[in-house]
Amino acid sequence: MIYLDNNATTEIDPRVVDVMLDVLRSGPCNASSQHAVGRAARLRIDEAIDMIGSAIDSPLDQPGGPRLIFTSGGTESNNLALRGLADPDAPIVISRIEHPSVIAVAEQLAAQRREIRWLDVDRAGVAKIDSLADLIQGGNRTAGLVSLMSANNETGVIQPIEQAAQICRDLGVTFHVDATQSIGKVPISFRTLGASAVTMSAHKFHGPTGIGGLWIDGGVKLLPLLHGGEQQLESRPGTEPVPLICGMATALQLATSELPQIQPRLGSLRDRLEQGLRSAHPPLVVHGCLSEEADAARAPRLPNTTCLSFLGADRQSMLMALDMAGVACSSGSACSSGSSPPSHVLLAMGLPAEQVQSALRFGVSKFSTEKKIDSAIERISSCYKRLTQKRSVEN
């Protein structure tokens, strides 16, 4: 199997596994216990927090400064942010291309009469940031929270986070960034990002599944979703998973320290995949472009991600054919890829129905190779030709 679904999840780094096994073999790990074993577990968490702070360029050991709340992953972090970062009655602004863990919360809040204001995107999938200030100030009340992803999980298109952060600062609005897809793929500094809160998830950067975090800037208040314990200053009670936390810290440190070497390699492999497929199939559409012919018109994208429309083929048929051929990819967000509805991201971009219905997402990783990419090009091309010929015969 050639694994090209790294936006859904990544292969865990063996070095991360080694760290986690060391913790698991060390004995019981409940950092809330006051005895020596518990204190040892607490020390491991403290050391992991220091590692994470260094990796994201944000000291996490200063009283009253930024802090990190460990969660089960990106979905929980996004839920916690949308429900806990603003006045319960204040409007929320989100873009139309957010992850389902943001959009579903917003829709549920809207059903409870919470006002949700939607930020549109252009045909390249970039949020129309020029309209953000009007959305924040529109209506009878100023919005209390803006939530915007740093890069889209389906197209890889990088969003204008710095501009959004400045607008939110100028208007005194809490700004949450879902950085789940960006960390480990492009440089990011939480200290200079300008966000009030940032979501991360370890399994997106070769760490373990089941652990993530919500970084919160100093002075930002948060209402907890869970109750019944004093862990993490009662912001997210529950016994901390020490092995997962240590694994996340190690994965993040590796991802950020190795990024200068990994980032250009990811871009080269992604471009190799795109160019090989477009050379064999010129009608194929690469999303994240204002113009299909002019590379200069491309929107900035994550180096590992491509979203392609195989015109004349149904995305679900292509997905199943590729699975049988030994290529793992996705027809959209991993949280909704098992369902039949078309991509809400591509629909928000205003793309033709034929492009939306034939779109697949591919994501390379540091474990991808040129040999695997070339083999994937052959397998994808073969499946595409077979499906389009079958459709032609049927028509």
DSSP H helices, the chain, are 14-24, 36-55, 74-84, 100-111, 132-137, 161-171, 190-193, 242-257, 259-280, 315-325, 344-348, 353-357, 370-394
> Which tokens go with 10?
């990544």
The continuous run of DSSP H or E covering 71 comes out as strand 67-71
| CA–CA separation, 260 and 139 (whole Å) | 45
Given 29, 246, 335, 383, which residue is catalytic? 335
Burial class (CB in 10 A: 0-12, 13-18, 19+), 295: exposed
Asked if 303 and 6 touch (Cβ cutoff 8 Å), the reply is no
Structural element, H or E, at residue 343: none
d(CA 148, CA 359): 23
CA distance 101 to 77: 9
Q: Count CA atoms within 13 Å of residue 17 on its CB side.
A: 4
- Determine contact, residues 174/168, Cβ cutoff 8 Å: yes
- Residue 298, burial from CB neighbour count under 10 angstroms (0-12, 13-18, 19+): middle
Q: Which among 58, 289, 59, 298 has a CA at the least distance from the CA of 183?
A: 58
| Separation of CA 16 from chain center | 20
Active-site annotation holds for 335: yes
Give the integer Cα–Cα distance in Å for 48 and 17.
15
Question: Mind telling me the catalytic residues?
Answer: 335
